[in-house]
């Protein structure tokens, strides 16, 4: 089966998280979050080339960590000022022969291992992209000025995760549209959807945590210890 290219976005500075350094470089049980993510990606049989985007000021920090953890297969490139720009730079860095591209958050270390294979299967069925998602567990209210406007139908609502897997041509088309319209893309599937290409849902996992807030580190430590520690022995 064809190997896929993976763009790992770690270009954020973690303004919501706070602290003295981006959250992707913080540690769980002594291992930087980003290194856990990258090691798990490299362990996936379908993964070929991996491109990592990080803030320009952290290129040397990232390079030193890649060397320390012996992650030699990863190409490092500076991220842009937005997620869309960072992914676009990653796309330009990937080898031209790669026709399937996955985009993944560097601070989402506990993705399901079967995600890449499920995504590739959906592409073979004719979809332009496949994204991980889980049904919302809470009731969702639409609110304005602290007043409830409506209660949304939870059965139709999903929380989206990464990795997201795309045909490269569809992702390039989406990013071209995003550049033209200067779209503030919340994720890459949004750009592909805007072109009219079909994007499928594949089952995500509630353990697939995106580390966003300080308390997420405590949850991540529990998840690593209980469910994923054997991958690092």
Question: 2 pLDDT exceeds 70?
Answer: yes
pTM of the predicted structure, to 2 decimals = 0.94
- Domain ranges in the chain? 4-129+162-232
Taking only the tens place, the pLDDT of each residue in 165-211 is 999 999 999 999 999 999 988 899 999 999 999 999 999 999 999 99
- Dmax over CA atoms of the chain, in Å, equals 53
User: CATH top-level class for 4-129+162-232?
Assistant: alpha beta
Provide the pLDDT for residue 164: 98
Question: 46 pLDDT exceeds 60?
Answer: yes
Crossing angle of helices 168-181 and 83-93, rounded to 10°: 140
Return the percentage of the chain with pLDDT > 90, whole number: 86
């Amino acid at each position: 089966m064809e190997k896929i290219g993976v763009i790992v976005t770690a270009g954020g500075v973690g303004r919501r998280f706070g602290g003295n350094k981006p959250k992707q470089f913080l540690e769980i049980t002594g291992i930087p979050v980003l290194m856990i993510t990258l090691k798990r990606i490299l362990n996936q049989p379908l993964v070929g080339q991996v491109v990592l985007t990080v803030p320009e000021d952290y290129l040397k920090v990232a390079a030193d960590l890649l060397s320390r953890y012996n992650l030699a297969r990863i190409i490092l490139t500076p991220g842009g000022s937005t997620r869309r720009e960072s992914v676009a730079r990653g796309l330009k860095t990937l080898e031209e022969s790669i026709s399937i591209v996955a985009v993944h958050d560097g601070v989402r270390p506990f993705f399901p291992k079967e995600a890449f294979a499920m995504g590739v299967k959906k592409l073979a069925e004719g979809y332009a992209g496949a994204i991980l998602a889980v049904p919302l567990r809470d009731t969702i209210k639409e609110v304005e000025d602290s007043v409830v406007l409506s209660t949304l139908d939870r059965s139709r609502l999903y929380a989206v995760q990464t990795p997201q897997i795309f045909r490269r041509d569809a992702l390039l088309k989406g990013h071209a549209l995003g550049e033209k319209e200067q779209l503030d893309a919340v994720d890459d599937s949004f750009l592909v959807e805007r072109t009219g290409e079909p994007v499928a849902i594949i089952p995500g996992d509630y353990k697939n945590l995106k580390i966003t807030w300080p308390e997420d580190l405590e949850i991540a430590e529990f998840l690593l210890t209980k469910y994923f520690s054997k991958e690092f022995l």
